Structure 1
Amino acid sequence: MKVVVIGAGFSGIAAGIRFPQRVPNLELTIYDKNAGVGGTWYSNKYPGLACDIPAHCYQYTFEENTDWSAFYAPGPEIRAYLENVATKYKVHKYLKLSHELIHAAWDEPTSRWHLRLRILTKPLPGGGFEEIEDEADVLFASFGTLSRWKWPEIEGLEKFGGRLLHSAQWDVSEGAWEEGVRDWGEKKVGVIGVGSSAIQIVPALQPKVKQVVNFVRGKTWLSTPFSGAKMAELLARNPDAQNFEFNEENKATFKDPTFYKEFRHELESDLNSVHAATLRGSEMQEEARAAFKESMLKKLAKKPWIADHILPDFPVACRRLTPGPGYLEALCEDNVEFVTDAIQQVTETGIETADGKHYDLDVLVCATGYDTSFQYPFTFIGRNGRSLHEAYTPHPRTYLTVAVDGFPNFFQSLGPNSGVGSGSLLVLIERQLDYAVAATLKLQRERYKSVEVKKEAVDDFDQYLEHYFPTTVYSEKCRSWYKMGKEEGRIVGLWPGSCLQAVRALASPRWEDFNWEPLDKVKNRFYWLGDGQTYNEKHLTGDRAWYLNPDEVDIPPVPKV
């Protein structure tokens, strides 16, 4: 089987581990447009970049890291974790970095995906880049949701004479961002936005620059950060911590496998216990709202007027929820200005707001988000010339987020409706990958040349989505990337249920929801049984008692009296 993976973030690296582990006779290639592994954690290098869920829950189930420096680990540590995992499991031998997908098309005669990619390290004299072609029996895509950034549509943005940056394209030519802002001590920096990136950038820059001006039009909830009994034990030693930093003593306790497994299990269990807060009118939603409001008001005590402009009317979790350690405290510092008037235009020297006031700036940071419409910047053609662009218009329609009708032998992770409002995204990524691996094995084992989800199955999942989300806070009026950046409309960013429900749903594939096209022109469905023996016994090679291996033997528990 020839499998091609697009993307080398969390999904792609896991694919480089699981496909070779489980699929025999495999040819695997993993392409990524970036020059290194990590996906969004490679691309993003802005000040304050960090995980917004507990780091000990933001790792593979099979690869634990006991050396996180903080409860919300900084971005460079997450990228280093991914690089270490890729090195440990020898994923690099499958990687082709700086290779950008520009065209993919299903070829009916061969039942294969035909791909065209540009090599970003090989520019051509007349412009453009050298291109290559490839083919695949199975295409596994991990394009990523937050990977296609865009500039905001603000009049005069191109006229700005100072330094213009986007949070997703931070200039790190001078090294780490700390090095890059070392000479910013006398600079005035404008930050546009109040999303998760802006909330991390503002407190990171505040102590390093003369002034930060945060231009904010929306509102957002900031969650209280810590929970769980074992975390409470650590927090008791530093009750005022915004982002608990693990010292060597803490890390030493994590070296005890029993303690660490209990610690991690408790954190994930806690993370998976708040789904009820996303349901309209639930008791947990009201409790969260009251707790977060109290916490935010307390942190804004020095500038209480800010609360009138940042505390939302919409429910908690309607838009992406973040703990935002240090953000509200930074807003209260003397060198930070919080501006809520609409931006009229960008000038050569700064920003002019609708009230006619002008803010002189040396640096302007646009923390204004990504294109979350799932309309990708490459051509992707399935059966009968139908494009993925068409399939995702007016909104994406998938089967359990992993497959799309009209696109055979194509599976994806972190596609439409793959995000989680609560719980661990990493375990969902692993289960989506497991689904693709299981389908590949069935294609191989039972000699099918194509598998395609039935349109009626996609229709039914779409109907389920339409009926589920009105019961949640996500459908309330608030601007969110969950709704493709709109205040109201279709939810395309989130799974229709809890993280645990998604894990259960993907665990046992419903192969009856797919059409399977045989490879051989033989009517008997048991043709794949072959000549009555396995390869190993026929050639007297390999393991001929594999069913006795520890990972194969299912030892039943002895019933207690």
Structure 2
Amino acid sequence: MSTVQVVKESHENPTKFRCRYEDADQILGPNSWVPEDDSLPVIRTESKIAIIGGGFGGLSAALTCIKEVKEKDFVIFEKHADFGGTWYANTYPGCASDIPAVWYSFYSELNSNWSALRPPQYEMQEYIKHVVDKHKITEHGKFRTIITEARYRTETADWILTARNLDNGQKLEHVSKILVACQGGLVYPSQLRAKGLENFKGEYMHSALWRHDVDFKGKNVVVVGNGCSAAQVIPALLANYEPKSIKQVVRSKHWIMPPLPKFVHTLYRLLSFHRWGILFVRWIIATAAESKYPLYDGTGFWARIVRWINTRTSVSYIKSTAPKKYHDILIPDYKIGCKRMIYDYVYVPSLNDARVDLTDDGIDHIEENHVVLKSGTRVPADIIVACTGYDLKKAFSSFNYYGDDGVSLKDVWSKEGASAYETLLVKNCPNLFVLGGPNSATGHSSVVLALENGSKYFSKVAPKILDGTYKSVKVKTSVYDRWNTTVQAILEKKVFGTKIGGCVSWYTEGGRNETAYPFSQISAAFRMGSPKWEDLELERGDSKKHV
């Protein structure tokens, strides 16, 4: 395996490496719509493997098909006009991964010239496009195509996908032996819900649907939210957009960690001439991150020790960097790890800018030119930016899967809660692999690593379906149910949005955590690399016999 090198064209022309606002708004906006024109003929296609989603998950699956499975008969369905997923659609100022790019990238496609530890969105998208072009993945893509239904046909042991072209509404039906679902979780913006927003005369936007045509110079800006997106948007606006003022409405507190030392990127630059050097830096970063994993455990000895160290590090950073008047607003009173930590870059230092003001006074209502807080304070507003996160449930249920005998996955998940065995297999759905599915997220690690771990499992099982050894493969119902129960029991003893953690978090909703992975990523690597065949129901390719 060699390294890749982006040419930094994205720094000269970032527009080329981002989704058009109009396209993103059609798909992700509050009034999203899918055209339907049944007067056009139905397009019918087929492939051995179908992949839904062209972000890091879909591309991890594609690279696995090419390199490990040795199968090039696959199609990637992508609702946007290009690959990249989050990194194509999210283009707000300051947008960058909170995990260093040397780790937040494909193991087999290491980049030797990242401009920074956490390069901007457009550079990440340029890297993605470079990998796509290198492996000629574009020829496998069906863009501006949104899946509306996936149905398994038991008699023929294949999946039939129904889709619509987002430009003309033409219907498409695609048949595949294997289906790989890679829709991702942080996709659909959760819009600001505030009384009177419809009366606002200024400009409103969600950070995930950025309006690059809006001029911020000399404007009063209200930013709602203080998670990862807000921590990137605010410093970028201050540095490059010349706003008159920024009022940040803090909705909840987050543990904010200091940025990685600058020497890490210096070391990367020194060693990036060879793949082994890049891997060494990647190993350092991964080891440092994985060392934080014990803090997510409940009340054990090591959990308390690691939590104490990281809590002290965060508090020290905030107190030494942010103005004293904001300390009580910024420093949480719940256990670190209960919400996803923010790995800072320049947010906390930017709070010393005289144009910024923080408040934890909630929004009561919005008027034509003001945001009115619960205290009665009327904040002048020309622009409102909602950094209010994503709708995870919509991401998992934007369309329905129908498995054996037409069993509805939406119905199963609505009754039992969303789950997937080893984060990958869903009961009653043969030959379906979910990358980045329920309980696959981590609070400290690289999502790309998690996706690659899932791809390992896919690479072990899929060839047995493709070569006819097995007509179908699915997780045993009893095993799935046991996994679901076990995972929830384990996560109740972690700090992810639990009573132990002491916070309300998007990890957990209604008492169930359908987001966080219950084990370490080291454990995941071993588990995914060695499928337990006894947990699977295997239908032989030459008969109806199951083993």
**What TM-score comes out, normalization by structure 1 length?**
0.83
1:13 paired with 2:59, answer: yes
Instruction: In structure 2, give the amino acid aligned to 1:479.
Output: V
Q: Is the aligned partner of 1:435 residue 2:457?
A: yes
- Maintained 8 Å contact 2:48/2:466: no
Q: Is 1:324 paired with 2:349?
A: no
Partner deviation per Cα, 1:500-538 (whole Å, 9 max, x = no partner):
11111111001111112233337699xxxxxxxxxxxxx
* Structure 2 unmatched ranges of 5 or more: 1-46
Asked whether the 8 Å contact 1:375–1:392 carries over to 2, the reply is no
Rounded to whole Å, the distance in 2 between the matches of 1:355 and 1:523 is 69
Change in CA separation of 1:165 and 1:105 when aligned onto 2, cut-off 3 Å: same
Match of 2:238 in 1: 206
Task: Determine the C-alpha separation between the residues in 1 that align with 2:506 and 2:358.
Answer: 23
CA contact (8 A) 2:151 2:403 kept: yes
- Structure 2 counterpart of 1:63, one-letter code: E
**Partner amino acid, structure 1, of 2:340:** R
Of the structure 1 ranges 349-358 and 17-26, higher mean CA displacement relative to structure 2 is found in 17-26
1:72-100 Cα distance to aligned partner (Å, 9 max, x none)? 22111111111111111111111111111
The amino acid of 1:262's aligned partner reads: F
Matched with 1:82 is 128
Deviation at 1:60, TM superposition (A): 0.8
Q: Could you tell me how far 1:157 is from its partner in structure 2?
A: 1.6
- Residues 310-389 of structure 1 aligned to structure 2 (within 5 Å): 310-373=330-393, 375-389=396-410
Partner of 1:277: 295
Alpha-carbon distance in structure 2 between the residues aligned to 1:524 and 1:368 = 48
Structure 1 position 152, deviation (Å): 2.3
What residue number does 2:14 align with? none
Are 1:272 and 1:424, in contact at CA under 8 Å, matched by a contact in 2? no
Residue identity opposite 1:483 in structure 2 = T
Change (3 A) 1:158 1:521: same
Q: Is 1:168 the equivalent of 2:202?
A: no
- The separation in 1 between residues aligned to 2:504 and 2:526, in whole angstroms, is 30
Alignment of 1:185 with 2:207, yes or no, is no
Residue 87 of structure 2: which of 32, 36, 41 is its match?
41
Preserved CA contact (<8 Å) 1:58 1:424:
yes
SS of residue matched to 1:186 = coil
Query: What amino acid maps onto 1:511 in structure 2?
Result: W
User: Which residue of structure 2 aligns with residue 194 of structure 1?
Assistant: 226
Q: For the residues of structure 2 that align with 1:263 and 1:139, how far apart are their CA atoms? A: 35
Of 507, 514, 518, 1:482 maps to: 507
AA partner of residue 112 (structure 2): T
Q: Aligned Cα RMSD in Å?
A: 2.1
1:224-243 matched pairs, under 5 angstroms: 224-226=258-260, 234=263
**Correspondence for 2:283:** 265
**Which structure has the larger Rg?**
1
Determine the C-alpha separation between the residues in 1 that align with 2:274 and 2:529: 31
Matches within 5 A, 1:412-451: 412-451=434-473
**Secondary structure of 2:57's match?**
helix
What is the CA deviation profile of residues 364-403 of structure 1, one whole-angstrom value per residue up to 9, with x for unaligned ones?
1011011112541223222233222122225212201101
Shift of residue 433, structure 1, vs aligned partner: 1.5
Q: Deviations over 1:50-69 (max 9, x none)?
A: 11012211111111112111
Q: 1:496 aligns with which of 513, 518, 521?
A: 518
- Which one of 180, 187, 190 corresponds to residue 150 of structure 1? 190
Q: Percent identity?
A: 29
Q: Report the CA distance between 1:22 and its aligned residue.
A: 3.5
The count of aligned residue pairs is 490
Q: How does 1:90-105 map to 2 (within 5 A)?
A: 90-105=136-151
Provide structure 1 residue ranges, at least 5 long, that are not aligned to the other structure. 123-128, 175-179, 236-243, 526-561
Is the contact between residue 424 and residue 499 of structure 1 (CA under 8 Å) also seen in structure 2? no
Deviation at 1:26, TM superposition (A): 5.0
Q: Tell me the SS of whatever aligns to 1:276.
A: helix
Per-residue Cα deviation, 1:262-286 (whole angstroms, up to 9, x for no partner): 2222222222222112223420101
The aligned counterpart of 1:535 is none
Supply the distance in 2 between the matched residues of 1:442 and 1:217 (Cα, whole angstroms).
Answer: 50
Partner SS for 2:507:
helix
- In the alignment, residue 203 of structure 1 is paired with which amino acid? P
TM-score, length-scaled by structure 2: 0.85
The aligned counterpart of 2:22 is none
In structure 1, distance between residues paired with 2:314 and 2:71: 53
Do the aligned partners of 1:101 and 1:118 also contact (CA within 8 Å) in 2? yes
Question: Is this contact kept in 2: 1:343–1:353, CA < 8 A?
Answer: yes
